[in-house]
Chains A and B, each alone.
Chain A
Amino acid sequence: MDREGVIRAVVQGVWLGWKVESNWTNPFVFLTYLIAKPIASVILVGLVFVIGSTASSIQGSREDLFFYTFTGAVFFIYPATIVISLAYLVHEDRAKYEVLKHVYITPSSIQTYIIGRGVASAINASVSVAVSLLVGSIIFSNYFALNLPISASSVDYLTLLSSIPLGVAAFISLGMVLYSINLVTFKLQYSLSEYTTGILFLLSGVVFPPKMLPYPISFIGEVLPTTHFLNVVRSSLLGYNAHESMAYLLLSTILTIAVALIFMRRMESIARVKGTIDRKAEY
């Protein structure tokens, strides 16, 4: 397929992903859904911080720790949204709407379609991240005197903006791995996505540094792209040098993409042999 064809397939994937994710209701309800859930997650983490830090009476590094947990919770919306969306893709397209086989017999590659669906989720996640960051910082600043130590003039915008497509690429690749597992199995889509987001939430330094975990679990956290994505985001928001974290993010993203492509190719060939691409029964 030529470059134009690839771009067209990705754009169609984005358009279809947007339709599937949003047209179940009217735009107002969808927008409420898009922002209420992530805002609730972010406020929940913030309240755990407020209640825990009040009970322990820590003072010195309170705002730094709040920045760490708050930004972790906000930017974790990216991997959570993308991974969950792609983990459900097989169930939706194969069993529910029965269109997966049609996608497979088009001249486009399934990977471009998955990338398109992942990008649609990333766009939705960006809206959730922006609103959660704004609403959460207002709530915690006004009601709990917890101000984020972010200055608009010191943010490293270039690093911040380049970390997002890199992170999104890694999370889409992770989603491809889940897609591949779901392709050769069935009834796993919910538990698989929840396991993955749960493990990422625990190991990636979202609400506490991964080095607090016992070895070798802490080591697993250190190699995950989510950990480096969050490190780059935090450093760039504070205007610190994020070159090292950025290099790790780039490396872990390249590795995740390579693993996802190899794994997907292998699973697809198994799916063709087992005849699971057009399997209907999921219930």
Chain B
Amino acid sequence: MSRGRGNIKDDLILNLKVVYARAYVRLKGLLREPHWSIAEVTIPLLSLCAYIYMYTMLDAPIEYMAFVIVGGAMLAFWSNVLWGVSAQLYWEKETGMLQHYMLSPASRLAVLLGMAAGGALNTTLRSISILLVGTLLFPVEYNLLDINALLIVFLLTITALYGMGMLFASLFLLYGREATHIADLLQEPIYLFSGIYYPVLSSQIFSQAVKLVASIIPLTFGIDAIRLLLIMGKGMEDVLLHIVGLSLLVAILLPSSYIALRKMEDVSKRHGRLTLRWQ
């Protein structure tokens, strides 16, 4: 069926409105449930403090404190990607909202993009709060020389991360009760490989094979590059490999999430799982 220019324009406007509406929920949630926002800043700080004390006990160089704080700040994004984007379609199914999305003329991708955009924005605020509080609590020093490189790396990391979240959201569409357990299972192993509390890519401890596996996670490239730029005073030329890696991940993850969403929606409809709760 051919579509006129007016139809495409209407579709675009509709889907942009959907992106805005879904992102708005995330931002409104900051004010409606302020204790969640406080918890999402305070809770990562507790484990962050524990690892800083552990490095202090080991008499590690002072930059390791800053490594932990930067890792802890970026951890907020992974939590949001996991629980706020990946598991979101599962929550929508549990609360009976998913069927309304399916009945509406809006693109499901626009719904996911809205969740991702809103989530990224409010998590950036939380992440900055973690960084600020961590910096106030411990005697850390930063050495930022190339702010443009930092912004490029940060934006690429966030785009790749939320692309991964959107891909997982499609997969989670098929899940029942296992969704929360799978999301739970994707926490500690990801912390382990992505180097939330220690350097991975620039460390001699890990083999090339481990580094290669860890590079599949956008957080690994992102945290490593941000630490190099923000703490070690490096410049764009030192993080070129990270930028290439993150760009590749963006190029793979975003189209994959679109394809997976269409596929999983089709499978869910065939298996009658879109409205099935508590299974």
Please report A residues at the B interface, Cβ cutoff 8 Å: 24-25, 29, 33, 36-38, 40-41, 43-45, 47-56, 58, 65, 69, 96-97, 187-188, 190-191, 194-195, 198-199, 201-202, 206-209, 212-213, 283
CB of B99 closer than 8 Å to a CB of A: no
Return A63 CB to nearest CB of chain B, in Å: 13
Interface CB pairs A-B, < 8 A, 14: A25-B178, A33-B181, A37-B184, A43-B192, A51-B205, A53-B60, A55-B61, A190-B39, A191-B39, A198-B43, A202-B49, A202-B53, A208-B50, A212-B57
Enumerate chain B residues within 8 angstroms of A51, measured Cβ to Cβ: 60, 198-199, 203, 205
Considering the chains assembled together, what is the distance between the CA atoms of A96 and B277 in angstroms? 10
A37 touches B185 (CB 8 A): yes
Enumerate chain B residues within 8 angstroms of A69, measured Cβ to Cβ: 54
Given contact pairs A24-B176, A191-B39, A212 touches B49 in the complex (Cβ within 8 A): no
Partner pick for B33 among A50, A187, A201, CB 8 A cutoff = A187
Q: Which of B36-50 contact A (CB under 8 A)?
A: 36, 39, 42-43, 46-47, 49-50
Return B216 CB to nearest CB of chain A, in Å: 16
Given contact pairs A40-B192, A56-B59, A48 touches B54 in the complex (Cβ within 8 A): yes
Enumerate chain B residues within 8 angstroms of A47, measured Cβ to Cβ: 192, 198, 205
B199 touches A44 (CB 8 A): no
CB of B191 closer than 8 Å to a CB of A: yes
A194 touches B181 (CB 8 A): no
Whose C-beta in chain A lies nearest to the C-beta of B190? Answer: A40
B64 touches A52 (CB 8 A): yes
Considering the chains assembled together, what is the distance between the CA atoms of A186 and B138 in angstroms? 34
Enumerate chain A residues within 8 angstroms of B203, measured Cβ to Cβ: 51
Enumerate chain A residues within 8 angstroms of B176, measured Cβ to Cβ: 24
CB of B56 closer than 8 Å to a CB of A: yes
Enumerate chain B residues within 8 angstroms of A283, measured Cβ to Cβ: 91, 94-95
Please report B residues at the A interface, Cβ cutoff 8 Å: 33, 35-36, 39, 42-43, 46-47, 49-51, 53-61, 64, 91, 94-95, 176-178, 181, 184-185, 187-189, 191-192, 197-199, 203, 205, 278
Return A209 CB to nearest CB of chain B, in Å: 7
- Helix, strand, loop or mixed for chain A's interface? helix
A55 touches B46 (CB 8 A): no
Considering the chains assembled together, what is the distance between the CA atoms of A164 and B4 in angstroms? 71
Considering the chains assembled together, what is the distance between the CA atoms of A25 and B42 in angstroms? 33
Whose C-beta in chain B lies nearest to the C-beta of A188? Answer: B35
Enumerate chain A residues within 8 angstroms of B46, measured Cβ to Cβ: 195, 198-199, 201-202
Enumerate chain B residues within 8 angstroms of A194, measured Cβ to Cβ: 39, 43
Given contact pairs A56-B59, A212-B57, A44 touches B33 in the complex (Cβ within 8 A): no
Among A53, A191, A206, max chain B CB count under 10 A is at A191
Enumerate chain B residues within 8 angstroms of A97, measured Cβ to Cβ: 278
Whose C-beta in chain B lies nearest to the C-beta of A55? Answer: B60
A213 touches B58 (CB 8 A): no
B57 touches A209 (CB 8 A): yes
Return B25 CB to nearest CB of chain A, in Å: 13
Given contact pairs A48-B198, A191-B43, A212 touches B56 in the complex (Cβ within 8 A): yes
A36 touches B39 (CB 8 A): no
Sample of 15 further A-B pairs with CB below 8 A, known A58-B58, A191-B35: A24-B181, A33-B184, A37-B185, A37-B188, A41-B188, A45-B54, A48-B54, A52-B55, A52-B198, A56-B58, A190-B39, A194-B43, A201-B47, A212-B53, A212-B57
Enumerate chain A residues within 8 angstroms of B57, measured Cβ to Cβ: 65, 208-209, 212
Nearest 3 Cβ contacts at the A-B interface: A198-B46, A191-B39, A40-B188
Return B29 CB to nearest CB of chain A, in Å: 11
Enumerate chain A residues within 8 angstroms of B36, measured Cβ to Cβ: 187, 191
A195 touches B39 (CB 8 A): yes
Enumerate chain B residues within 8 angstroms of A40, measured Cβ to Cβ: 188-189, 191-192
Considering the chains assembled together, what is the distance between the CA atoms of A212 and B203 in angstroms? 28
B177 touches A24 (CB 8 A): yes
Enumerate chain B residues within 8 angstroms of A24, measured Cβ to Cβ: 176-178, 181
Considering the chains assembled together, what is the distance between the CA atoms of A232 and B278 in angstroms? 42
Considering the chains assembled together, what is the distance between the CA atoms of A37 and B185 in angstroms? 6
A96 touches B278 (CB 8 A): yes
B192 touches A44 (CB 8 A): yes
Whose C-beta in chain A lies nearest to the C-beta of B49? Answer: A202
Return A131 CB to nearest CB of chain B, in Å: 14
A49 touches B58 (CB 8 A): yes
